[in-house]
Amino acid sequence: MATFLYKLGRLSFRRRHFVALIWVALLTLAGVGAASAPAAGNSSFSIPGTEAQKAFDLLEQRFPGTSADGATARVVFKAPSGEKMTDPGNKATVQETVKELSDGSEVVRVTDPYRAKAVSKDGTIAYAQVSYKVSGMELDDAAKDALKDSAQDAREAGLTVEIGGDALQAVPHTGSSEIIGIAVAAVVLVITFGSLVAAGLPLLTALIGVGIGVSAITGLASALDLGSTTSTLAMMIGLAVGIDYALFIVSRYRAELAEGREREEAAGRAAGTAGSAVVFAGLTVVIALVGLSVVNIPMLTKMGIAAAGTVAIAVLIALTMVPALLGYAGRKVKPMGEKGKLLGRAKKQDKPAKPNLGTRWASFVVRRPVAVLLLGVIGLGAAAVPATSLELGLPDDGSQPVSTTQRRAYDLLSEGFGPGFNGPLMVVVDAKDSDDPKAVFTETGDAIKGLKDVVTVTPAQPNKAGDTATITVIPGSKPSSVTTENLVHGIRDAGAGIKADTDANVLVTGSTAMNIDVSEKLNDALVPYLVLVVGLAFLLLIVVFRSILVPLKAALGFLLSVMAALGAVVAVFQWGWLSGLMGVEQTGPVMSMMPIFMVGVVFGLAMDYEVFLVTRMREAYVHGEKPAQAVVTGFRHGARVVTAAAVIMMAVFAGFIGSSESMVKMIGFGLAIAVFFDAFVVRMAIVPAVLALLGRKAWWLPRWLDRALPNVDVEGEGLRTRTGRGNEDREPARV
């Protein structure tokens, strides 16, 4: 592989005009496609195989035309102090509002609070439910404006009016903090390279890669049903790995220049050595992201594949466009140790150069491996303690900031009708195979009334055929509580008994039941997913490092860092520690898909640093250095660059903490803190300590396995035999 990438790097350096033209053309093509593509609607959220999804599909089939997937809005009214909603003036205002809402072209129906008995017992709060033909993201601006205007008219009449539901759902925005993250990355690159030109290359190539990836996602969003979060995730990961991969290529290029090689040769060798590490690091990230498909949640699968595609583009750009841009930069990119005009030129010294910080730190770890190992493991273990209190759920209006009308509507409904009113359960009774459907409907309702935590059970509402009915159940507890989850399981257990007696199927659906099913599905998929992803990456790393213990150590270190990161997420988003600093206005359960998503993404990113750092150690060991000295050599060449890469990745991820979307905010924080733990505690402390303790055993591989594995030559050993001939065959570098 090293030889192939070496040739590719030299070719890209020589044919830089052609390479640059190809990437610019791809960016233009993707941009035009994104601009001309139809606007994407709301991404459908289906969970194949769950009871809630089966019930939803059954509703679509047995109750045609009801727009079961359409947007809903709850317009909540509260009477002024000392008045009631049943007072003639307030009643007239509400009925006028209901009439205005019914005039919308996309409105299916509007319930009158007084006919639907949607007035609280104390008479101070009432609500009207509006059902639409289309989903919240597909609802046109005129319908949303009409909803807001109707509420405003009622407010002007003296009522307190708030709007809940998904009808006012908005596309999330990331805010200015995303730009701050890129700015921090730029500063780190300038400090690392001491040159604006060298620092600008990784940023430029990363932005081109992200531009192509996100534009392609935008162009295909409507056809493939991709949600807005998909492009945000692709941007987040694409920026981080794109900058890092280019950073490693440019750093190795400068190191090769410092050894006296010509620029084209240096570009080729950088692509052959650091480029090999980039390929395998990228493969681990792609495996982790594509592996999300085993969960069988379409939205998560699409997010993973889209982000994996952006990572693949980042790898290809690092291997081709970076060498091409190095050709354009010419002598403006200085050899390692020689700074540009920005930070001043390095002064010649008669005395030997002082060992850099990476060398001094590695030497310390090699001398005190046990102490460093224990300190690192105990520290990460302490950070992981909050993860034992992990509670999973999906966000509802109760997790919105208190400044939003959705959250205020949620609180008013809880005040007037109880906390469970915000998470009603819909029970679908399929009595098509039953001899007496009406008796089954009655029996089901009576069985549900006998369960704990049930406040209200509405009469069964059959369809026209009379073979299927819906029953609405109002729990006594809030939607995200364990008590409500137990009630859902209780209804399903009761339904199993009814099926045995009457052959009728009793299914529970609704947003609350769907959230519970998603959490359980994700929990069940976590272990198989972990085995698949870690297993495939373990095999890949065996090929890279030609060792058993080094990949094993890498996997165990990852488990430490991801558990510590989950602990930090629980502490901030569930317990509320530093929540004000992070802009978390409402604490609550951690997003259901957060653990499995963090496992996938963090594992891929963790292996980046493992590959970049340890391949340098492996390279030194293969070339004759003792194991302890190889560790120090790896840090001397790689620690500064890995540190810069980690800081850049943390800055990019942290930039998404400013998002208005709670899922994006949580992912940004979780990935940023996970990179910190993995790069600076696991890879910079625990890894060298373990390698120092293992010595030569770290690089042990059974002979039969050594013969069976392909030789991918990540260390670039094959390039050493090409040095003399490569210099003769090389065309003059045009700089």
Beta-carbon contacts of residue 3 (< 8 Å; ≥ 6 apart): 272, 713, 718, 719, 722
Task: Tell me the per-residue pLDDT of 636-655, one tens digit each, with 9 for 90 and over.
Answer: 887 888 888 888 888 878 87
Read off the tokens for 311: 């990572």
pLDDT at residue number 39: 60
159 phi, psi to nearest 5 deg:
-90, 155
285: alpha, beta or left, given left = phi > 0 and alpha = psi -120 to 50? alpha
pLDDT at 312: 93
DSSP letters along 297-348, please? Answer: -HHHHHHHHHHHHHHHHHHHHHHHHHHHHHHHHGGGSPPTT---TTT-PPPP
* Residue 473 tokens, joined: 């159940």
Residues 556, 14: Cα–Cα separation, whole Å:
43
In 3D, which of 154, 146, 61, 74 has the Cα closest to residue 110? 74
The SS3 of residue 74 is strand
- Please tell me the predicted confidence (pLDDT) of residue 724: 46
Q: At 700, list the tokens.
A: 């042990």
Place of tokens 């488990």: 559
Please report the pLDDT score of residue 135 as a whole number.
66
List, in order, residues 6 or more apart from 265 with CB less than 8 Å away.
10, 256, 726, 727, 730
β-sheet bridge partners, residue 126: 77, 119
Q: Give the residue from 534, 558, 552, 533 showing the smallest Cα distance to 699.
A: 552
Between 662-676 and 627-654, two packed helices, what is the crossing angle to 10 degrees?
A: 160
**Is the Cα dihedral 118, 119, 125, 128 positive or negative?**
positive
Residue type, 525: A
What letter represents residue 715's amino acid? E
Backbone angles phi, psi at 66, to 5 degrees: -90, -5
Q: How far apart are CA 313 and CA 292, in angstroms?
A: 19
Q: 43: which DSSP letter? A: P
Neighbours of 10 (CB within 10 A): 25
Which residues does the chain have with pLDDT short of 50?
Answer: 42, 174, 345-350, 723-735
Full-model pTM: 0.77
DSSP string spanning 536-587?
Answer: HHHHHHHHHH--SHHHHHHHHHHHHHHHHHHHHHIIIIIS-TTHHHHT--S-
CA-to-CA distance for 387 and 218, rounded, in angstroms? Answer: 36
* pLDDT at site 353: 60
For 482, other C-beta atoms within 10 Å of its C-beta total: 9
Phi-psi region of 352 (alpha: psi -120 to 50; beta: other; left: phi over 0): beta
Q: How far is 71 from 67, CA to CA, in rounded Å?
A: 9
What is the tens place of the pLDDT at every residue in 274-293? 888 888 888 888 888 888 88
Give CA–CA dist 407/162, Å, rounded. Answer: 9
Pairing of strands 590-591, 392-393: parallel
Strands 72-78 and 160-165: antiparallel
Q: Are 240 and 647 in contact (CB under 8 A)?
A: no
| Conformation bin of residue 529: beta by default, left when phi > 0, alpha when psi is -120 to 50 | alpha
How far apart CA 344 and CA 339 sit, in angstroms, is 6
